[in-house]
Amino acid sequence: MTDRVYTANEAPVDQLINFHHEMSMMKHSPSKIFFFCCQPASEGGETSIVQSNIVVEKMEERLPEVMAKLSEVGLVSKSKTPRDDEADSEKLINKTWKWIFKTDDEAVGEKRAKEMLNCNSVSFNSDGSADFVFGPSNPIRELGGKRVWFLPFLGYTGNIYDVNHSFGDGSAVPREAFVTYGEVLEENCVDVKWQKGDILLIDNHSVQHARRPGKPPRVILASVCK
């Protein structure tokens, strides 16, 4: 809407946007996020929040061996952007690499990817999609004096079959880790039910946020700051 204010993710309101720290895969992520409710969803559409330090604590209690291995060898994450023929699909939460990097030129796209993202490599496919590889890196960071789970683990959809992670040594992350992580999120989150005119300020370095499925109309504005 302006240089500093924009509409929150415009994926269809009936889709879940799972817990995440904003721009966590980029080299520079904002410290704070402001949300403003212009129009709440007619049903559902809550913004859910969870403290990432609690996520770390609960995961260490339940899966200490997995957490120790993540700390030792890190996590490798692979992601794929949509194909060209999916660019206008209302069912997709993710955007094409051309939309993300504001160019159709692969060389420019690769340059901008390396400037903006913490990825190790990017490769472009004939169908217009692109593959990104991140890590190995520890998804747990110390920010603001707290150990927080900062990097995405379940992806935007929350479906364990939509993620492509492995340990830094190449071994598979057990399915139990993804299931337990999702349970921890749901058990420790708080849903914020919007009313028109509400303002929500989130510490992006310590709190993950998500969008619950809802029914339109839903208009939430967002602004980030360093």
CATH of the domain at 211: 3.60.130.10
Q: How far apart are CA 64 and CA 103, in angstroms?
A: 44
Task: Tell me the average pLDDT across 175-186.
Answer: 96
Q: How far apart are CA 136 and CA 218, in angstroms?
A: 38
Which pair of structure tokens corresponds to residue 146? 């707290």
Q: Is residue 175 part of a domain?
A: yes
Identify the weakest region by mean pLDDT among 2-6, 17-21, 171-175. Answer: 2-6
DSSP state of 85: G
The whole model's pTM is what?
Answer: 0.89
Confidence of residue 92 (pLDDT cuts 50, 70, 90): low
> Does the pLDDT of residue 95 top 90, yes or no?
no
Q: How far apart are CA 193 and CA 186, in angstroms?
A: 16
Q: Which amino acid is at 134?
A: F
Structure confidence at residue 2 (pLDDT): 57
Q: Is residue 105 part of a domain?
A: no
> Does the pLDDT of residue 59 top 60, yes or no?
yes
CB 186 within 8 A of CB 18: no
Task: Tell me the average pLDDT across 30-54.
Answer: 96
Which segment, 78-87, 111-120, 143-152, 191-200, is predicted with the most confidence on average? 191-200
The answer, yes or no, to whether the previous bond of 213 is cis (omega within 30 of 0) is no
Structure confidence at residue 3 (pLDDT): 67
* Residue 106: Cβ-neighbour burial (10 angstroms; 0-12, 13-18, 19+): middle
Q: Is residue 115 part of a domain?
A: no
Q: Is residue 140 part of a domain?
A: no
Name 130's Cβ contacts closer than 8 Å, sequence gap at least 6.
80, 81, 97, 109, 122, 123, 124
Q: Which amino acid is at 18?
A: N
Beta carbons within 10 angstroms of residue 147's beta carbon: 15
Q: Which domain holds residue 215?
A: 1-51+147-162+171-226
- For 23, the 3-state DSSP assignment is coil
Task: Tell me the average pLDDT across 133-154.
Answer: 92
Q: Is residue 219 part of a domain?
A: yes
Q: Is residue 183 part of a domain?
A: yes
How high is the mean pLDDT of the chain? 91
Q: Is residue 104 part of a domain?
A: no
Backbone angles phi, psi at 201, to 5 degrees: -110, 125
Of the two residues 119 and 155, the one the predictor is more confident about is 119
> Does the pLDDT of residue 176 top 90, yes or no?
yes
Task: Tell me the average pLDDT across 35-55.
Answer: 97
Total domains present in the chain: 1
Of 73, 94, 33, give the one whose Cα is nearest residue 165: 73
